[in-house]
């Protein structure tokens, strides 16, 4: 049985929803940024709206933004957020970080899910931290070198590298979830948290969503498309706040194509949409 934290995922389990909570003023989607008491209210609303987890981040990793802050600042933000979430809600907490010191601070507070957008490849000490605590992991496709050739094949290879890193730290395979990194394959960027490609990044993201079943590698897969750039580009919506309908449409397609977890800013709307999508998905499976 695959698990993310305490929650059963994949297989015949319902598609799960991970609500996004950002404490970083640098984040691309300003409505997702919470501070002070807003954190409490936001997580309680997510729980009420049907979230299965809350994913909290303290430093934006959007490739097109200059967002790097000190580790000390990221730790301070994440500790404050975790404590508020734990006091306000029973939702399992995922911490979105690629820095080992931040992961350690979170794990020391009882968090049991680490979501690393670099798939354990950015910070060499991350392996030691997760080896000691054995959390569940969300591993993103990520490469430090520019990619060439078929990007679906390359995405799978990058994910396999991260799976091997996790296994080297003693993480059981049933505690690993994969993320194909929608929005993180780019021609250029302003931070080190993206994978460089020379081809059309929008086409890459669309191809990934169409080929989720082949990218899964027999692991549960998490998809995060909420309000992202490719939706803005397709719809010509510069403001992320105007991308909600496009986001929900992409999330539905992701579910129909095999996504097990949807990570979203829009928990209530996503919950409704994927509940309907699952009905169609299960009907189509019965017909096979």
Mention the CATH class of domain 3-281.
Answer: alpha beta
pLDDT on residue 249: 95
One digit per residue, pLDDT tens: the chain, 288 residues?
899 999 999 999 999 999 999 887 666 555 666 777 889 999 999 999 999 999 999 887 777 666 788 999 999 999 999 999 999 999 999 999 999 999 999 999 999 999 999 999 999 999 999 999 999 999 999 999 999 889 999 999 999 999 999 999 999 999 999 999 999 999 888 888 889 999 999 999 999 999 999 999 999 999 999 888 889 889 999 888 889 999 999 999 999 999 999 999 999 999 999 999 988 876 555 444
Closest CA to 166 of 209, 109, 212, 217: 217
Distance, CA of 180 to CA of 190 (rounded, Å): 20
Domain boundaries, the chain: 3-281
- Which tokens in the block code for residue 254? 């992701």
Q: Three-state DSSP class for 17?
A: strand
CA 60 to chain centre: 12
- The overall average pLDDT reported for the chain is 91
200 CB contacts (<8 Å, ≥6 apart)? none
- Percentage of the chain surpassing pLDDT 70? 93
pLDDT on residue 287: 46
pLDDT on residue 28: 54
pLDDT on residue 268: 96
């Amino acid at each position: 049985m695959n698990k993310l934290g305490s929650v059963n995922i994949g297989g015949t389990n319902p598609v799960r929803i991970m609500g996004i909570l950002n404490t970083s003023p640098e984040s691309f989607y300003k409505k997702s940024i919470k501070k002070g008491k807003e954190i409490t209210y936001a997580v309680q609303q997510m729980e009420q709206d049907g979230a299965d987890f809350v994913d909290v981040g303290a430093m934006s990793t959007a490739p097109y933004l200059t967002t790097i802050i000190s580790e000390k600042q990221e730790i301070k933000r994440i500790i404050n957020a975790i404590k508020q979430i734990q006091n306000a809600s029973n939702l399992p907490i995922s911490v979105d970080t690629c820095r080992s010191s931040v992961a350690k601070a979170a794990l020391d507070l009882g968090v049991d899910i680490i979501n690393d957008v670099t798939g354990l490849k950015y910070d060499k000490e991350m392996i030691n931290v997760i080896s000691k605590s054995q959390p569940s992991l969300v591993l993103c496709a990520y490469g430090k070198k520019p990619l060439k050739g078929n990007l679906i094949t390359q995405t799978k290879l990058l994910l396999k590298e991260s799976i091997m890193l996790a296994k080297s730290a003693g993480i059981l395979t049933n505690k690993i979830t994969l993320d194909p990194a929608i929005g993180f394959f780019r021609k250029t960027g302003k931070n080190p948290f993206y994978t460089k490609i020379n081809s059309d990044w929008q086409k890459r993201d669309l191809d990934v969503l169409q080929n989720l079943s082949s990218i899964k590698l027999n692991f549960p897969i998490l998809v995060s498309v909420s309000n992202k750039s490719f939706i803005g580009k397709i719809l010509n919506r510069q403001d992320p706040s105007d991308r909600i309908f496009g986001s929900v449409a992409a999330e539905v397609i992701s579910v129909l194509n095999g996504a097990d977890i949807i990570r979203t800013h829009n928990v209530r709307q996503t919950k409704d949409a994927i509940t309907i999508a699952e009905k169609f998905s299960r009907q189509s499976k019965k017909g096979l």
